[in-house]
Amino acid sequence: YASCSIRHKCDGCRMKVEVYGGYHSPWVQAVLLALHDADVEHRVRQVPPFEAVKQWGVLMPAVSIDDGPWQIESSQILGKLGWGSISDEDLQAVKTAWQGVLHRPDNPFRFFAAFARAGDNSPSLLTRSMRNFARSFIPLYMFVLINFAKLTMKPAEPKDFADQYFYWERLLESSTGSFIDGESPGIRDLMLFGVVQCHSSIPTPPLQPLQQDDRLPGMRQWIACMHERFSGYPHLYSGGHFEPRMA
Protein backbone atom coordinates (compact mmCIF):
# COMPACT_ATOMS: atom_id res chain seq x y z
CA TYR A 1 0.00 0.00 0.00
CA ALA A 2 1.07 3.60 -0.52
CA SER A 3 1.28 4.29 3.21
CA CYS A 4 3.64 1.34 3.65
CA SER A 5 5.97 2.45 0.85
CA ILE A 6 6.46 5.93 2.26
CA ARG A 7 7.07 4.57 5.77
CA HIS A 8 9.72 2.24 4.43
CA LYS A 9 11.37 5.08 2.51
CA CYS A 10 11.36 7.40 5.49
CA ASP A 11 12.65 4.79 7.93
CA GLY A 12 15.61 4.36 5.62
CA CYS A 13 16.54 7.98 4.98
CA ARG A 14 14.55 10.10 7.46
CA MET A 15 13.65 12.68 4.86
CA LYS A 16 13.36 16.31 5.91
CA VAL A 17 10.19 18.07 4.81
CA GLU A 18 9.22 21.72 5.14
CA VAL A 19 5.69 22.83 4.28
CA TYR A 20 4.37 26.33 3.73
CA GLY A 21 0.61 26.72 3.87
CA GLY A 22 -2.49 27.35 5.91
CA TYR A 23 -4.51 24.58 7.48
CA HIS A 24 -7.66 25.84 5.74
CA SER A 25 -6.34 24.87 2.30
CA PRO A 26 -7.51 21.44 1.05
CA TRP A 27 -4.26 20.91 -0.82
CA VAL A 28 -2.13 21.74 2.22
CA GLN A 29 -4.31 19.39 4.24
CA ALA A 30 -3.75 16.55 1.77
CA VAL A 31 0.03 16.89 2.10
CA LEU A 32 -0.07 17.16 5.90
CA LEU A 33 -2.38 14.14 6.15
CA ALA A 34 0.10 12.13 4.08
CA LEU A 35 3.03 13.17 6.26
CA HIS A 36 1.07 12.40 9.42
CA ASP A 37 -0.01 8.96 8.19
CA ALA A 38 3.57 8.07 7.33
CA ASP A 39 4.90 9.55 10.58
CA VAL A 40 7.28 11.82 8.67
CA GLU A 41 8.83 14.60 10.72
CA HIS A 42 8.08 17.94 9.11
CA ARG A 43 7.90 21.65 9.81
CA VAL A 44 4.94 23.84 8.85
CA ARG A 45 5.45 27.53 8.22
CA GLN A 46 2.63 30.04 7.84
CA VAL A 47 4.67 32.62 5.92
CA PRO A 48 5.78 31.71 2.38
CA PRO A 49 9.51 31.29 1.69
CA PHE A 50 11.03 34.05 -0.41
CA GLU A 51 12.06 31.58 -3.13
CA ALA A 52 8.43 30.46 -3.55
CA VAL A 53 7.04 34.01 -3.43
CA LYS A 54 9.29 35.02 -6.32
CA GLN A 55 7.77 32.31 -8.53
CA TRP A 56 4.20 31.80 -7.35
CA GLY A 57 3.25 34.50 -4.87
CA VAL A 58 1.37 33.12 -1.87
CA LEU A 59 0.09 29.97 -3.59
CA MET A 60 0.03 26.96 -1.27
CA PRO A 61 1.19 24.41 -0.45
CA ALA A 62 4.85 24.95 -1.13
CA VAL A 63 6.98 22.00 -0.08
CA SER A 64 10.72 21.45 0.11
CA ILE A 65 11.99 17.88 0.52
CA ASP A 66 15.51 17.40 1.91
CA ASP A 67 16.31 21.11 1.34
CA GLY A 68 15.48 20.71 -2.35
CA PRO A 69 13.65 23.23 -4.56
CA TRP A 70 10.17 24.32 -3.55
CA GLN A 71 7.21 22.64 -5.28
CA ILE A 72 3.56 23.73 -5.26
CA GLU A 73 1.39 21.12 -7.05
CA SER A 74 -0.06 18.96 -4.27
CA SER A 75 -0.73 15.87 -6.40
CA GLN A 76 2.86 15.89 -7.66
CA ILE A 77 4.17 16.47 -4.14
CA LEU A 78 2.20 13.47 -2.90
CA GLY A 79 3.64 11.41 -5.73
CA LYS A 80 7.18 12.33 -4.70
CA LEU A 81 6.32 11.39 -1.13
CA GLY A 82 5.45 7.89 -2.32
CA TRP A 83 1.67 8.07 -2.77
CA GLY A 84 1.55 7.32 -6.48
CA SER A 85 -0.40 9.33 -9.03
CA ILE A 86 -3.99 10.41 -9.61
CA SER A 87 -5.79 10.36 -12.96
CA ASP A 88 -6.95 13.57 -14.60
CA GLU A 89 -10.55 12.42 -14.19
CA ASP A 90 -10.18 11.79 -10.47
CA LEU A 91 -8.29 15.05 -9.95
CA GLN A 92 -11.06 16.96 -11.68
CA ALA A 93 -13.63 15.18 -9.47
CA VAL A 94 -11.68 16.28 -6.37
CA LYS A 95 -11.72 19.88 -7.60
CA THR A 96 -15.43 19.62 -8.41
CA ALA A 97 -16.09 18.52 -4.81
CA TRP A 98 -14.58 21.86 -3.78
CA GLN A 99 -17.56 23.80 -5.17
CA GLY A 100 -18.97 26.16 -2.58
CA VAL A 101 -15.58 27.38 -1.36
CA LEU A 102 -16.49 30.93 -2.44
CA HIS A 103 -18.98 31.01 0.45
CA ARG A 104 -16.16 30.97 3.00
CA PRO A 105 -16.04 34.76 3.47
CA ASP A 106 -19.84 35.15 3.68
CA ASN A 107 -19.35 35.79 7.38
CA PRO A 108 -16.23 37.99 7.63
CA PHE A 109 -15.94 37.60 11.42
CA ARG A 110 -15.98 33.82 11.21
CA PHE A 111 -13.57 33.88 8.26
CA PHE A 112 -10.88 35.94 9.99
CA ALA A 113 -11.43 34.25 13.36
CA ALA A 114 -10.77 30.86 11.81
CA PHE A 115 -7.49 32.04 10.30
CA ALA A 116 -6.49 33.68 13.57
CA ARG A 117 -6.91 30.39 15.46
CA ALA A 118 -4.52 28.65 13.05
CA GLY A 119 -1.52 30.84 13.79
CA ASP A 120 2.17 30.07 13.95
CA ASN A 121 3.26 27.77 16.77
CA SER A 122 6.95 28.59 17.04
CA PRO A 123 8.24 28.27 20.65
CA SER A 124 9.92 31.67 20.27
CA LEU A 125 7.61 34.56 21.17
CA LEU A 126 9.49 36.95 18.88
CA THR A 127 9.48 34.56 15.92
CA ARG A 128 5.84 33.68 16.51
CA SER A 129 4.84 37.34 16.70
CA MET A 130 6.73 38.29 13.55
CA ARG A 131 5.33 35.40 11.56
CA ASN A 132 1.77 35.99 12.71
CA PHE A 133 2.06 39.66 11.77
CA ALA A 134 3.33 38.74 8.30
CA ARG A 135 0.73 36.01 7.77
CA SER A 136 -2.12 38.38 8.70
CA PHE A 137 -1.91 39.79 5.18
CA ILE A 138 -2.61 36.38 3.62
CA PRO A 139 -6.22 35.94 4.87
CA LEU A 140 -6.88 39.57 3.98
CA TYR A 141 -5.58 38.91 0.47
CA MET A 142 -7.72 35.75 0.20
CA PHE A 143 -10.80 37.57 1.50
CA VAL A 144 -10.43 40.32 -1.09
CA LEU A 145 -9.58 37.87 -3.88
CA ILE A 146 -12.59 35.61 -3.27
CA ASN A 147 -15.02 38.50 -3.05
CA PHE A 148 -13.54 40.10 -6.16
CA ALA A 149 -13.97 36.81 -8.03
CA LYS A 150 -17.59 36.57 -6.89
CA LEU A 151 -18.36 40.11 -8.02
CA THR A 152 -16.62 39.97 -11.39
CA MET A 153 -17.02 36.36 -12.51
CA LYS A 154 -20.42 35.70 -10.93
CA PRO A 155 -19.87 31.92 -10.95
CA ALA A 156 -22.99 29.79 -11.26
CA GLU A 157 -23.70 27.49 -8.34
CA PRO A 158 -24.96 23.93 -8.62
CA LYS A 159 -28.63 23.42 -7.89
CA ASP A 160 -27.69 20.76 -5.37
CA PHE A 161 -24.30 20.66 -3.66
CA ALA A 162 -24.77 16.93 -3.08
CA ASP A 163 -24.20 16.37 -6.80
CA GLN A 164 -20.48 17.00 -6.45
CA TYR A 165 -20.08 13.97 -4.19
CA PHE A 166 -21.93 11.32 -6.24
CA TYR A 167 -18.79 10.46 -8.24
CA TRP A 168 -17.08 9.48 -4.99
CA GLU A 169 -20.15 7.76 -3.60
CA ARG A 170 -20.12 5.42 -6.62
CA LEU A 171 -16.40 4.73 -6.24
CA LEU A 172 -16.87 3.88 -2.57
CA GLU A 173 -19.67 1.45 -3.46
CA SER A 174 -17.28 -0.41 -5.76
CA SER A 175 -14.25 -0.23 -3.46
CA THR A 176 -12.79 -3.47 -2.08
CA GLY A 177 -12.06 -1.81 1.28
CA SER A 178 -13.13 0.95 3.61
CA PHE A 179 -11.35 3.63 1.59
CA ILE A 180 -11.58 4.87 -1.97
CA ASP A 181 -8.26 3.21 -2.77
CA GLY A 182 -9.04 -0.04 -0.94
CA GLU A 183 -7.95 -1.33 2.44
CA SER A 184 -5.68 1.67 3.11
CA PRO A 185 -6.05 5.34 2.17
CA GLY A 186 -4.44 6.37 -1.12
CA ILE A 187 -3.83 9.64 -2.88
CA ARG A 188 -7.51 10.04 -3.79
CA ASP A 189 -8.55 9.58 -0.16
CA LEU A 190 -6.04 12.19 0.98
CA MET A 191 -7.02 14.80 -1.58
CA LEU A 192 -10.77 14.37 -1.11
CA PHE A 193 -10.41 14.38 2.68
CA GLY A 194 -8.48 17.62 2.34
CA VAL A 195 -11.54 19.09 0.61
CA VAL A 196 -13.74 17.85 3.46
CA GLN A 197 -11.45 19.64 5.93
CA CYS A 198 -11.78 22.82 3.87
CA HIS A 199 -15.58 22.69 3.90
CA SER A 200 -15.49 21.96 7.64
CA SER A 201 -12.93 24.49 8.85
CA ILE A 202 -15.10 27.47 7.84
CA PRO A 203 -18.48 25.78 7.28
CA THR A 204 -19.92 26.25 3.81
CA PRO A 205 -23.20 25.04 2.21
CA PRO A 206 -21.58 21.84 0.79
CA LEU A 207 -21.10 20.62 4.37
CA GLN A 208 -24.83 20.10 4.92
CA PRO A 209 -25.44 17.39 2.28
CA LEU A 210 -22.40 15.52 3.54
CA GLN A 211 -23.97 15.52 6.99
CA GLN A 212 -27.61 14.85 6.09
CA ASP A 213 -28.27 13.76 2.50
CA ASP A 214 -29.72 10.23 2.42
CA ARG A 215 -28.00 9.59 -0.91
CA LEU A 216 -24.51 9.85 0.60
CA PRO A 217 -24.23 7.10 3.25
CA GLY A 218 -20.97 5.87 1.75
CA MET A 219 -19.36 9.26 2.09
CA ARG A 220 -20.29 9.50 5.76
CA GLN A 221 -19.02 5.98 6.44
CA TRP A 222 -15.79 6.84 4.62
CA ILE A 223 -15.38 10.00 6.72
CA ALA A 224 -15.85 7.89 9.86
CA CYS A 225 -13.11 5.51 8.69
CA MET A 226 -10.82 8.44 7.92
CA HIS A 227 -11.51 9.84 11.40
CA GLU A 228 -10.39 6.57 12.95
CA ARG A 229 -7.32 6.42 10.73
CA PHE A 230 -6.33 10.02 11.49
CA SER A 231 -7.52 10.23 15.09
CA GLY A 232 -4.19 11.73 16.19
CA TYR A 233 -4.01 14.31 13.42
CA PRO A 234 -4.08 17.79 15.01
CA HIS A 235 -5.96 19.68 12.26
CA LEU A 236 -9.04 17.49 11.84
CA TYR A 237 -11.72 20.14 11.31
CA SER A 238 -14.28 17.56 10.21
CA GLY A 239 -14.06 16.05 13.70
CA GLY A 240 -16.56 18.60 14.97
CA HIS A 241 -19.14 17.83 12.28
CA PHE A 242 -19.10 14.06 11.70
CA GLU A 243 -19.07 10.85 13.70
CA PRO A 244 -17.01 9.67 15.40
CA ARG A 245 -16.50 13.13 16.86
CA MET A 246 -12.91 14.22 17.29
CA ALA A 247 -11.67 17.11 19.41
Percent of the chain with pLDDT over 70: 85
Q: Are 32 and 24 in contact (CB under 8 A)?
A: no
Question: What pLDDT, on a 0 to 100 scale, did the predictor assign at position 154?
Answer: 79
Mean of the pLDDT values across residues 18-43? 94
Q: Are 30 and 198 in contact (CB under 8 A)?
A: no
Q: Are 34 and 58 in contact (CB under 8 A)?
A: no
pLDDT tens-digit series, residues 63-97: 999 999 999 999 999 999 999 999 999 999 999 99
Which residue would you say has higher pLDDT here, 161 or 154? 161
Mean of the pLDDT values across residues 133-143? 68
pLDDT tens-digit series, residues 155-182: 888 899 999 999 999 999 999 999 999 9
Contacts 24+ apart (CB under 8 A), 207-213: 207/241, 208/161, 209/160, 209/161, 209/162, 209/165, 210/165, 210/242, 211/241, 211/242, 213/162
Mean of the pLDDT values across residues 43-72? 91
The mean of the pLDDT values for the chain is 86
pTM: 0.85
Q: Give yes or no for residue 134 having a pLDDT over 60.
A: no
Mean of the pLDDT values across residues 127-148? 67
Q: Give yes or no for residue 13 having a pLDDT over 90.
A: no
Which residue would you say has higher pLDDT here, 229 or 121? 229
Question: What pLDDT, on a 0 to 100 scale, did the predictor assign at position 40?
Answer: 93
